């Protein structure tokens, strides 16, 4: 009898659309968080590869190079030279060699960055104190995988 009533199918479809809409609305932020953490982990893995290539370059030539194009590594992003800076600019992160042999991996849109100290072999995930997204990402990214034991 439920299907025999006028408009009941429309009501069922509307209820299903509302339920699916709520499911998507609740699940989408979690999906974006996991996606952001995955991108951060990939950036850290690329930073680790750059740090190892820098260490190899130093063993060969006696110094680190800020120009990642000179490293024996297939770079996934272009190296840009502007205003005395040499940076590798990817879609989400910018890579550059800072003073004191620190490889800085900085997010383009969030106040969050990774510092890989090449000489010490340490990794630090930093963010501005007011950055909820930065603190969330830093707490979730596995830094132990980036440090060679």
- Given a contact cutoff of 8 angstroms between Cβ atoms, the answer to whether 145 and 43 are in contact is no
Q: Is 103 left (phi over 0), alpha (psi -120 to 50) or beta?
A: beta
Q: Is the pLDDT of residue 21 over 90?
A: yes
Instruction: Assess if residue 149 is contained within a domain.
Output: no
Domain that holds residue 31: 8-140
- Indicate whether 147 belongs to any domain: no
Q: What is the mean pLDDT of residues 109-126?
A: 85
Residue 3 within a domain: no
Residue 128 counted as domain residue: yes
Evaluate whether residue 102 is within a structural domain.
yes
The pLDDT value recorded for residue 15 is 92
pLDDT higher than 60, residue 78: yes
Whether residue 1 is predicted with pLDDT greater than 50 in this model: the reply is no
Give this prediction's pTM.
Answer: 0.76
What average pLDDT does range 13-32 have in this prediction?
Answer: 91
Q: Which residue has the higher pLDDT, 141 or 108?
A: 108
- Structural domain contains residue 53: yes
Decide if 148 is inside a domain.
Answer: no
**Mean pLDDT of the residues in the chain:** 84
Answer whether residue 63 is part of any domain. yes
**Is the predicted pLDDT of residue 114 greater than 80, yes or no?**
yes
Quote the number of domains for the chain.
1
């Amino acid at each position: 009898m439920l299907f025999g009533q006028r408009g009941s199918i429309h009501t069922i479809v509307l209820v299903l659309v509302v339920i699916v809409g709520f499911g998507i609305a609740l699940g989408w932020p979690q999906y974006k968080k996991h996606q952001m953490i995955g991108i951060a982990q990939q950036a850290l893995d690329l930073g680790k590869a750059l740090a190892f290539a820098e260490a190899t370059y130093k063993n060969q030539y006696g110094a680190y190079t800020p120009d990642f194009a000179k490293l024996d590594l297939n770079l996934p992003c272009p190296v840009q030279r502007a205003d005395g800076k040499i940076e590798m600019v990817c879609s989400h992160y910018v890579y550059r060699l800072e003073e004191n042999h620190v490889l800085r991996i900085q997010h383009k849109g969030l106040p969050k960055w990774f510092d890989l100290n090449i000489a010490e072999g340490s990794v630090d995930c930093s963010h501005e104190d007011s950055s909820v997204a930065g603190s969330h990402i830093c707490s979730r990214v596995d830094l132990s995988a980036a440090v060679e034991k």
